[in-house]
Chains A and B, each alone.
Chain A
Amino acid sequence: MTARGYLLYAGMALLIVLTGLVQGWNLALTILNMGLISAIMSLGVNLQWGFAGLFNVGVMGFVALGGLAAVLVSMPPVAEGWNAGGLRLLGALALGAAILIAAVQVWKRKIGGRMRTLVMLALLVGGFFLFRAALDPAVQAIEAINPSLSGYLGGLGLPILIAWPVGGLLAAGAAWIIGKAALGLRSDYLAIATLGIAEIVIAVLKNEDWLSRGVKNVIGLPRPVPYEVELQRDPGFAERAASFGLDPVTASTLWVKILYSGLFAVVLIVILLLAQRALASPWGRMMRAIRDNEVAANAMGKNVTARHLQVFILGSAVCGIAGAMMTTLDGQLTPGTYQPLRFTFLVWVMVIVGGSGNNYGAVLGGFLIWWLWVMVEPLGLWAMELITSGMSPDSWLRAHLTDSAAQMRLMTMGIILLAVLRFSPRGLMPER
């Protein structure tokens, strides 16, 4: 890192400390925790965009898959659900996968063109009805069991920390499928394809109640850190809190957040170190060579499509890990809250503002933009109150302006992105 980099990081730390002093440490730690997660997402996108020039606008989908992993790994299994149709459902899913694989195999055979297309179509259409016939009764049976409380299969009942790598794996799997289809085609196509896969992931999460209860949400995920109530009951903890001059309730909320920060910071540092090593390694140099001149890299015997697929999967996996961490922090999976502007395009603002191609920049962007995202709302409201202070209290315009202040966020993010692109296109911490 350069001197400028240290200065920027110090400034960022100062912003968070100031927030703590002015608005309370609880808020500062909340911002810090989401900032850590945002920084990881930003690192994932930087792997794809900064290293390889891949334009992925499906970050939301990979993040949501990570969240799904948190549910599937950590929630206790629902025995009645499994008895009602768990195995049948797994069988149906296996059947669906088998049909798809068979169709791909038929397509790969080098037999007469029209015959091959017909066989594949017949396989897909017939297979679809077969799949639905196998799946639907199982789904109905599972969703009928106690729908207001469970109505799904539950998870594996394992510690939620295991969900973090699993979230990465799920996202990597999705990335492999999408990369196989859309990489190697035109640049814009990957963007549209990822935009689509993200919407589909959210649609599946919202509708497949047997999987994660859909819009009924899964709440009360197990936590990797102690609960506040347990801490408050612990006399030793109350004593230590008192020695800092804090009452046990405040101390317990702060301590839980600090524990989360510690866990997230470890993950961030590990991923950052790995990404730094990758960037400096021959593999990283090859990636940048491909990014800067695909034709030349191809002529040098580099397999451009395979390398793109590799880095696309890696970056998406990092986003998946961040998604699992975020769901862990929230303690619930709420598919309705996944919005592309918040989870895809905001991460892009983080990468561009921080400095694409520079891992430290991406991390800084994650913290800074998240801090702004939280702060713009109170600042906007304050600005609006200042602007409207001269108007009469019951004026129509005044009410509209103060009500709409919450919408200032998106506009501010857009203006920041446009300003950085125009005046400092390489970001706050440029790549070399």
Chain B
Amino acid sequence: MTDFLNAIVALSNFVLIPGAAYGAQLALGALGVTLIYGILRFSNFAHGDTMAFGTMATILVTWGLQSMGISFGPLPTALIALPVGIAITGLLLLGTDRAIYRFYRKQKAAPVVLVIVSIGVMFVMNGLVRFIIGVGDVNFADGARFVINARQFKEMTGLDEGLAIRSTTLITLVTAAVAVALLFWFLNKTRTGKSMRAFSDNEDLALLSGINPERVVAVTWLIVAALATTAGVLYGLDKSFKAFTYFQLLLPIFAAAIVGGLGNPLGAIAGGFVIAFSEVLITYAWKKVLEYLLPENLEPSSLVQLLSTDYKFAVSFAILIIVLLFKPTGLFKGQSV
């Protein structure tokens, strides 16, 4: 029985809890991608760099607050800086839309042209982030590191396995839940949210019923700024900030959005968790858990790691391909072009 509990604790410690946090971060990222796809109808390659920009803005504000001696008690200072970061990113995205995307929208350019334009925006944003904050690792998490650490847990329960809950994990889950609740309330209950959904479902009908497309687009960019910055800051708090890592997040985020069904917000959340858990489960070394569960003579001698952690992209990719082959519109029905 203790063996079984130990196994569960080990599994939660190394797989379930980190997977849930990563899943929440991916889900927020994928929500941004899926909203842009639903309203503006293109795959935004600049999304990873939007996240990086938002995180960078938040980090700069955090440093400013820290130098003024302001802190958030046990919580990271970055949470106070987050709204400012979101505002800065929102301004940048609205500016980008006005200067760049609007031209192509007026022309009714093909979606793939917008995708190429977003590659240009990606270059500029990536350069901007590197230019301002550099290419190195930035660690900006402060406040308490653990809600409960492994030693305390062992003393509390008397088990051999420790369960550490990092404060960033808890913050990620709570913040993501709040953000998603706010988003769904906004999309389903407010007039503007309803007009956004109408616009996404049928642009012509929405225009006929007097919805102002420019307003819908502007609101979308603001929401995307909020989602991307939150996702980026949570990821950065959990791990660390590095411009290139954020660019690489593009693949799992797109995989999550497509697996869930592009253009479907609920699907993006589900997709985020599907991708995150598959990555963690397949790259986790199962030796420890199996040692607790199996009788002694069956215990594995190797690490029982299905794939090395460097192949986590391969996992997102494999799931993506499987979904594309068997359910091309995603788990939840998405839009198709």
**Interface, chain A (partner B; CB < 8 A):** 53, 55, 57, 128, 132, 136, 181-182, 185-189, 191-193, 195-197, 199-200, 203, 206-207, 340-341, 345, 348-349, 352, 403-404, 407-415, 417-418, 421-422, 425
Chain B residues with Cβ below 8 Å from A182 are 321, 324
Most buried by A among B120, B130, B251: B120
Cα A358 to Cα B250 in complex, Å, equals 31
**Contact yes or no, A207 B126, CB < 8 A:** no
The answer to whether A203 and B103 touch across the interface, beta carbons within 8 angstroms, is no
Shortest B52–chain A CB gap in Å is 12
Q: B115 and A196: CB pair below 8 A?
A: no
Q: Are B124 and A192 in contact (CB under 8 A)?
A: no
* Pick from A195, A207, A414, A422: contact of B254, CB under 8 Å: A195
Binding site for A on B (CB under 8 A): 43, 45, 100, 103, 111-113, 115-117, 119-128, 130-132, 134-135, 247-248, 250-251, 254-255, 258, 262, 302, 306, 308, 310-311, 313-314, 316-317, 320-321, 324-325, 328, 336-337
Q: Is A196 within 8 A of B251, CB to CB?
A: yes
Q: How far is the CB of A345 from chain B (nearest CB, A)?
A: 6
> Which chain B positions have C-beta within 8 A of A412?
127
**Bound Cα distance A425, B103 (Å):** 12
Contact: B320 with A410, CB < 8 Å?
no
Chain B residues lying within 8 Å of A185, measured Cβ to Cβ, are 324, 328
Compute how far the CA of A53 lies from the CA of B110 in the bound complex, rounded to whole angstroms.
Answer: 12
Residue among B123, B130, B250, B328 making CB contact with A195, cutoff 8 Å: B250
A292 smallest CB distance to B (angstroms): 11
Complex partner residue of B127 from A136, A192, A207, A411, CB under 8 angstroms: A411
Q: Would you call A407 and B337 a contact (CB within 8 A)?
A: no
Residues of A within 8 A of B302 (CB): 136
A418-B124 contact in complex given A193-B320, A200-B314, C-beta closer than 8 Å: yes
A411 touches B124 (CB 8 A): yes
Name the residue of chain B whose CB is nearest to the CB of A411: B127
The CA-CA distance from A195 to B45 in the complex, in Å, is 11
The CA of A199 and the CA of B311, in the complex, are separated in Å by: 9
With A53-B112, A189-B324 as contacts: A407 and B131 at CB distance below 8 Å: yes
A-chain residues with CB within 8 Å of residue B112 when the two chains form the complex: 53, 55, 187
Q: In the assembled complex, which residues on chain A have CB atoms less than 8 Å from the CB atom of B123?
A: 341, 345, 349, 410-411, 413-415, 417
Give chain B residues whose Cβ lies under 8 Å from the Cβ of A341: 123, 126, 247
Closest to A346 in B: B123
Q: Contact: A421 with B116, CB < 8 Å? A: yes
14 additional A-B pairs beyond A414-B125, A418-B100, beta carbons within 8 Å, are A132-B306, A186-B336, A188-B337, A199-B251, A199-B314, A199-B317, A340-B247, A404-B131, A410-B123, A412-B127, A413-B123, A414-B121, A414-B124, A414-B126
- Write the chain B residue with the least CB distance to A345: B119
A425 to B107 Cα, complex, angstroms: 12
Known: A185-B328, A188-B43, A417-B120. A410 touches B111 (CB 8 A): no
Min CB gap B285→A, angstroms: 13
The one of A181, A340, A418 in contact with B117, judged by C-beta atoms closer than 8 angstroms, is A418
**What is the minimal beta-carbon distance from A423 to any residue of chain B, in angstroms?**
10
For the complex of A and B, 6 pairs with smallest distance between CB atoms: A414-B123, A411-B127, A414-B124, A196-B317, A410-B127, A417-B120
Docked CA distance A102–B310 (Å): 28
A407 and B132 alpha carbons, distance in the complex (Å): 9
Chain A residues with CB under 8 A of B130: 404, 407, 410
Given contacts A181-B325, A195-B254, A407-B130, A417 and B317 within 8 Å (CB-CB): no
Min CB gap A118→B, angstroms: 14
Residue of B nearest to A136 (CB): B302
Specify which chain A residues have a CB less than 8 angstroms from the CB of B320 in the assembled complex.
192-193, 196
Residues from chain B with Cβ under 8 Å of A187 in the complex: 111-112, 337
Q: Which of B113, B131, B251 has the largest number of chain A CB atoms within 10 A?
A: B131
Check B120 against A188 for contact (C-beta < 8 Å).
no
- C-alpha spacing A185/B328, complex, angstroms: 8
Question: Quick one: closest B residue to A417, CB to CB?
Answer: B120
Between A195, A341, A408, A410, the greatest number of chain B beta carbons within 10 A of the residue's beta carbon is seen for A410
Chain B neighbourhood of A417, CB < 8 A: 116, 119-120, 123
**In the bound complex, CA of A53 to CA of B258 (Å):** 21
CA of A196 to CA of B190, assembled, Å = 38
**Contacts A187-B112, A200-B314; A409 near B127 (Cβ below 8 A):** yes
Cα–Cα distance between A86 and B47 once the two chains are bound (Å): 44
Q: Do A196 and B313 touch (CB < 8 A)?
A: yes
A188–B115 contact, CB under 8 A?
A: yes
Contact B113 A192 (CB under 8 A): no
Contacts of B113 in A (CB 8 A): 421, 425
Tell me the minimal C-beta distance from A419 to chain B in angstroms.
9
In the assembled complex, the CB of A418 is this many whole angstroms from the nearest CB of chain B, namely: 4
Q: Are A191's CB and B127's CB within 8 A?
A: no
Chain B contacts for A411, CB-based, 8 A: 123-124, 127-128, 131
User: Can you offer 22 A-B residue contacts whose CB atoms are under 8 A?
Assistant: A128-B306, A185-B328, A188-B111, A192-B251, A192-B255, A192-B258, A192-B320, A193-B321, A193-B324, A195-B250, A196-B251, A196-B321, A203-B313, A345-B123, A352-B116, A404-B132, A410-B127, A411-B123, A417-B123, A418-B124, A421-B117, A421-B120
Which residue of chain B has the shortest Cβ distance to A339 in the bound complex? B244
